[in-house]
Structure 1
């Protein structure tokens, strides 16, 4: 494999990873409520549960991609039929409803979080902020997956860099508090509660 092929391979993999990352970076991620609800409240187990969730999601995506390639199912409807065959006539509509509902919830949370941020930073009315984000989302959707992939790649780089800066600053300035939280004794049953939350996150 030559250098160009290696470069293209890395770019392709990074684009896929960026789209995946973009799927997680919504209103809950930006505000911290998602991380707090699913992971941080479980103290020293937070890192374990967050890694567990991402591993499960990654393996699920991997199996989906293998299955999509094997069956030639490159849209969610075809994938649903292949996934539930021979019960696809009954299960596929249920899968459609769940998939669309999850998509609406995820997009709504992202739009709401982004609009709230624009309102806070720029002072625009919330309705105008929602309208702007809605138009941007519509434009990205209309022009297809290629534009979404490119946009996700660019935005993911910016988000990751910003995220690392914030994390490094937060950790270095709060090392004592972090150490106390990690060493604090956990209530009985918190491990299993956190495990259920982690599996719930992965399931979504």
Structure 2
């Protein structure tokens, strides 16, 4: 049985659990977002916390833009009944699909390699710091878990996406509360000691938009991959709104935490630094579990998207063996990228990717998506109206 066949079974099980599809899309966005950089705190440190108090405002800008991208992608997928990102971009950007679809595909591949590579680097680093497991063995362990879950445990992982989301939120709340109330942190003095004028507002806003950029291709692709079955424009809006709220809260919670521990933003794993400094063994263990869940969840989500897009390119019969080959190739490439280290991937790779995606993904998706969804709805209404008149 291939991943596509499992996908159909997953949707039937999802209906039985009565979990709204829009909530599933929002959870997949959250699960994909809460991957290597966010769970470690590194992304938040680089793109937000380095700008002081502006870090409490700019995440709203970034996630609002990302929400618009998700909404127009999901809504246009619903209207045109596409099942993967390539079909979406081909229809959305017609008659210039060869240009924009190719750009999107390149950025998607770059996103997958860097995000999944970053996931492996983050998970391996956490295991190394927590139990002393060598990086190479940590990487191999995470690759094996990802392959097994993608091949045989996909139903379980996707059905429990909401549960994983809830666990991550609870763990973050615990970290924020304990971190802010711990005598080791000093939020109030750091707040009074800094002003908005200490940092460039323009640079802070630009970096928040760059953040949307490198998040765009992967999140759009994954949202489209799980959007089948969404029934109305209202549900598309709910998916975008719920996802925007969840992901904004996610970033802001880490912003609050790191603001109380300014030295943490220089660390490779800022959140691990805080959890360890607080001195709670339970909190540190929960953090490690949260990171590993986030890493595996993100890896599996991207594995689904890659198999959905490129599985048919492999000259093998559709099924589990073909899926295994695709995921194995993906994991090997991502392990090579992970060797660059989390600092390099987040500080350099994500920034360059983000700048590129602003112009070839974010702006086109929002502008063209707005125009085409509006025209599509208008054409459908006029068509139905003409039919009624004829009757």
Q: TM-score higher than 0.5 here?
A: yes
Partner of 2:56: 47
Partner of 1:121: 130
Cα separation, 2, equivalents of 1:90 and 1:50: 31
Partner of 1:181: 190
Partner of 1:36: 45
Cα separation, 1, equivalents of 2:190 and 2:126: 29
Cα separation, 2, equivalents of 1:133 and 1:26: 13
Residue 106 (str. 1) matches residue 115 (str. 2):
yes
Partner of 2:70: 61
Cα separation, 2, equivalents of 1:91 and 1:63: 16
- Structure 1 position 56, deviation (Å): 1.5
Partner of 2:28: 19
Cα separation, 2, equivalents of 1:142 and 1:97: 25
* Alpha-carbon displacement from aligned partner over 1:87-145 (angstroms, at most 9, x marks no partner): 11233222211111111111111111012112222332211111111122223433597
Partner of 1:137: 146
Q: RMSD between aligned alpha carbons?
A: 2.5
Query: Which structure has the larger Rg over C-alpha atoms?
Result: 2
Cα separation, 2, equivalents of 1:181 and 1:71: 51
Residue 191 (str. 1) matches residue 201 (str. 2):
yes
Contact 2:179–2:185 (Cα < 8 Å) also in 1: no
Q: Where do 1:153-164 residues align within 5 Å?
A: 153-164=162-173
* Alpha-carbon displacement from aligned partner over 1:18-60 (angstroms, at most 9, x marks no partner): 2111111222112211111111122222121112211211221
Cα separation, 2, equivalents of 1:191 and 1:175: 29
Contact 2:51–2:199 (Cα < 8 Å) also in 1: no
Distance 1:133 1:197, change over 3 A: same
Greater Cα shift, 138-147 or 184-193 = 138-147
Using the size of structure 1 for normalisation, the TM-score is 0.85
Which runs of 4 or more aligned residues in structure 1 lie more than 4 Å from their structure 2 counterparts after TM superposition?
A: 143-148
Cα separation, 2, equivalents of 1:85 and 1:140: 36
* Paired residues, number: 198
Contact 1:53–1:202 (Cα < 8 Å) also in 2: yes
Distance 1:63 1:144, change over 3 A: farther
Distance 1:189 1:161, change over 3 A: closer
Cα separation, 1, equivalents of 2:203 and 2:151: 41
State the SS of the aligned residue for 1:112.
Answer: helix
Greater Cα shift, 160-169 or 110-119 = 110-119
Contact 2:54–2:196 (Cα < 8 Å) also in 1: no
State the SS of the aligned residue for 1:8.
Answer: coil
Listed as ranges, the gaps of 5+ residues in structure 1 are none
